[in-house]
Each structure stands twice: as structure tokens, then as C-alpha cells.
Amino acid sequence: MSKYPDLRLMEDVFDVELPATRPKRGVEFSISPRFVDTVKQDYIRIPLRFKYGLTNKWEFAVRLQPYVNNPSQGDRENGVENIRFSTKYHLGRPLFGQVETALGLGVTLPVEDEKDGITDGYNHYTPFATVARTYDLDSGGQWQWFTSAEYDILGGNPDRGDKPDKDDELSLLPGLMYGPPGFWRYVFYVEWDTTRIAGGDRDDVYLVPGVRFDPPNNRYRWLPGDWQFELAGKLGLADASDDHGVIFQLKFDFASVMKSVGYDPRESGF
């Protein structure tokens, strides 16, 4: 067993779901400021997510998406755009070879009135699937290819009638990740969002190179528990050619943080 983080155990990276899930009773909190909004929006979204392992193969997550005023673009009141409930189940290797597979479903509900906030006012129902294959290298490192696919289905808005005035969207996110011996991980993936499958005409393509750092506890003793830091650039192409920015995510494992201060929530049955 390597002393370094195993790519097979990574549950997600940036906006890409991977097959692994939270271990049973494992809790993770994350914050992901959407700095990409600073380029042309008068707000900055700051998603906050809570994940919990129901079993060793099944997790549940809740994400709240508040936003704050972007002082460089305007003067907007702070608010909360939506809340998302999601679940993911790790199927193991049902397809072929060493390819890990997971299926999931997300439901996003608007929290605010669309006339006063930034929400589109629709319910979003998003089934998704993700696959990944990890290779162990003789040097002690690893590399992995992955692909995630999700289909965003819009529910009706009572204020507009039952039929949404925008199209459903298919997203494909194939990519590669390299993990040399150590605690840095290097990621590159492509995100393709298209409405053509639902009769639309929009294609947004993004190139996303990034890094992830899992600081070792024995070297950063001032940092309680297990943390992860992710940083990437996002470059838009095609219909999204004017979209670019930075993705940043900060995650920490709740049980490890509490244990570092003398309390183990798993011993209390949490």
C-alpha cells in the first residue's frame, strides 16, 4: 500500500465526478468559489457542499449555492441561488477489465425568486455516469483516464407554464490525471456542454488544466486532519470562447479534523 494518495480513492476532481464514494460514515465539507464569475458577472458564486457516506459504496451530498456581490462588475445584493441534493453509487467493475463505474442522480431546486436573484427558476434533474481506469507505474506513481457524462433535464416553472423556455443539456467530461510519488496530482480534462441532443444549437467547450495537493499530516502539523486543495484554469472555446477564469476548491474530512482535536465522531455512532 502506497503512503501517497491513491487515485482510485478520489471521489471527484474540480467539476468532474469520479467512481469512488465517501467511506461509510465519512463526512466531507468543501467550498468552491467560482472565480470564473469575476470576468463578466456582477456576482460570485460560492458553492458549499456536504457529503456523507451511507455505505462504503453509496454516498449522499447536499450543495448550497450562495453568491456575493462582485464589486468589479456592479452592485448586486447577496443571496442563495439554489440547493442541490445528489447521490452516487459505486458499481465496482461491471463493464470490463479494471474500469471502475458509478451512477448517480442530482436534483437542483431554486431557492430564490428569479426576478430578484440569479436563478433560472427551474428544477434540474441530472442523472450521471462516470468511469475511470487507474494504472500503477513501476516508478511508484499512477495515472488515470476518466470520463463523466451527465444529462441536465429541466423541470417546468409554474410562473412560465409547464414547458421550459430553454433546452436540456448533455455534458461530457473526459480527462487524464497523473499522480507521481508525492502529494501533488496533475489533471487535464475537456468539458463539452451541448443542447443539440435536445434540439438546441449551443456548444460550450472548455479546456481545464489543474493541480491538486493533499498535504501530508506529518509535514503540516498546523493543519488539523485531512485537507485537499485544488486549483485550475478554465478556457472556453466555441460558443463559450469569451468564458475563462479560475477554479478553486478547498475540501476537508470532518472526522479527521475532529479526531485531531481529540474527538472521534465515528466512536459516537455518527
The tens digit of pLDDT for each residue in 182-222 reads 999 999 999 999 999 888 888 999 999 999 999 887 676 66
Residue 263: pLDDT over 70: no
Residue 20: pLDDT over 90: yes
Q: What is the mean pLDDT of the chain?
A: 87
Residue linked to cell 445528489: 86
Within a domain: residue 2?
Answer: no
Within a domain: residue 228?
Answer: yes
Q: How many other C-beta atoms lie within 10 A of the C-beta of residue 223?
A: 14
H/E run at residue 109: strand 100-110
Provide the domain count of the chain: 1
H/E run at residue 255: helix 254-260
Q: How many other C-beta atoms lie within 10 A of the C-beta of residue 112?
A: 15
Residue 261 belongs to domain spanning: 7-268
Within a domain: residue 254?
Answer: yes
Within a domain: residue 105?
Answer: yes
pLDDT digits (tens, 9 = 90+) for 221-241: 667 778 899 999 989 887 777
Residue 219's CATH number: 2.40.160.40
Nearest alpha-carbon partner for 168 in 120, 205, 200: 200
Residue 169: pLDDT over 80: yes
Within a domain: residue 1?
Answer: no
Within a domain: residue 240?
Answer: yes
Residue 1: pLDDT over 50: no
CB–CB of 32/248 below 8 Å? yes
Within a domain: residue 74?
Answer: yes
User: pTM (2 decimals)?
Assistant: 0.87
Within a domain: residue 207?
Answer: yes
